[in-house]
Amino acid sequence: MLKQETLSKNQQIVLDYIEKVNEPIKAYSILHNLQKKGIKAPLQVYRALDKLVEIGKIHKIESRNAFVACKNSNCQISKATAFSICESCEEVSEISDSKLSKYLKNFQDKAGMKFNKYNLEFFGLCKKCSVK
């Protein structure tokens, strides 16, 4: 079987919703908001999320247990992610900085471990919140 080209029904429903809300959203919030589309059980959500993360359409914000659509249209690889997170308003944005990603991709652990993936989360105050 060839690599999957198109998303399945549930995967597409979940992705459409995540892209629409355009901010990190939690699995059970997705569940509650997609009842009328036929998404009625946690597993329908988690299965779709798993696949969407795997193919890089969305990312998981680990420190928040939330999911957000990928903004780097060319971020096929879900293997090198970086986010900035406002600790006040919880705004999250995906960092797209080629120097940073190059630096991290090439980072060599002292133990000689070779990495194939990383996730970086920065925390601080966004512009709006830092003037308050």
Where on the chain is the footprint of Zn ion (CB under 5 A)? 70, 72, 75, 86, 88-89, 91, 126, 129
Integer Cα distance of 130 and 117 in angstroms: 32
Residue among 27 and 126 whose Cβ is closer to DNA: 27
Please say whether the beta carbons of 61 and 85 come within 8 A. Answer: yes
Q: If contact means CB under 5 to 8 A according to the sort of partner, which of DNA, Zn ion, its own copies, none does residue 122 touch? A: its own copies
Chain residues that interact with its own copies, rule: CB under 8 A: 62-63, 84, 86-87, 93, 95, 97, 100, 103-104, 107, 109-127, 130
